[in-house]
A = this chain, B = another copy of it.
Amino acid sequence: MPPVPAPALTVLTTTDSAESAERLARSAVEARLAACAQVSGPITSVYHWNDAIETGQEWQVSFKTTEERYEELEAQLTAAHPYETPEIIALPVVRGSAGYLAWLTAETSAR
């Protein structure tokens, strides 16, 4: 029987520049709302906006955090993000190495 799914999450957002992505990554890690964050890009985004199809260059940020910290991370991202309605979604981590998950939990615990 696999262990109970670790209460960890991968939280994703996208933004319109590498600088903005690194700012969002750094402020979340500094506030211990994520143990780490990874910026990848540029990616090409295709999306609906006001009934037209738009294509744009974006950078993705992937935060590793716990379910306990999710709402604070969402609030910080919403406040700091340059978009009005940014993508902020969380995918569940159902398995993980014990050492890494312990580190993740420790790094996102209040000090």
CB of A91 closer than 8 Å to a CB of B: yes
Chain B residues, CB < 8 A from A11: 95
B-contact 0/1 string along A95-107, CB 8 Å cutoff: 1110111010001
Best-buried of A41, A97, A101 by chain B (most CB within 10 Å): A97
B10 touches A89 (CB 8 A): yes
| Known contacts A70-B95, A95-B89, A46 near B53 by CB under 8 Å | no
Residues of A at under 8 Å CB distance from B? 2, 6, 8-12, 14, 18, 22, 25-26, 29-30, 32, 35-41, 43-48, 53, 55, 58, 60, 64, 67, 70-71, 74, 77-78, 85-97, 99-101, 103, 107
16 A-B pairs within 8 Å (CB atoms) are namely A10-B91, A11-B95, A25-B44, A25-B46, A29-B47, A35-B48, A36-B48, A36-B87, A39-B43, A39-B46, A40-B40, A64-B89, A70-B95, A74-B95, A88-B96, A89-B101
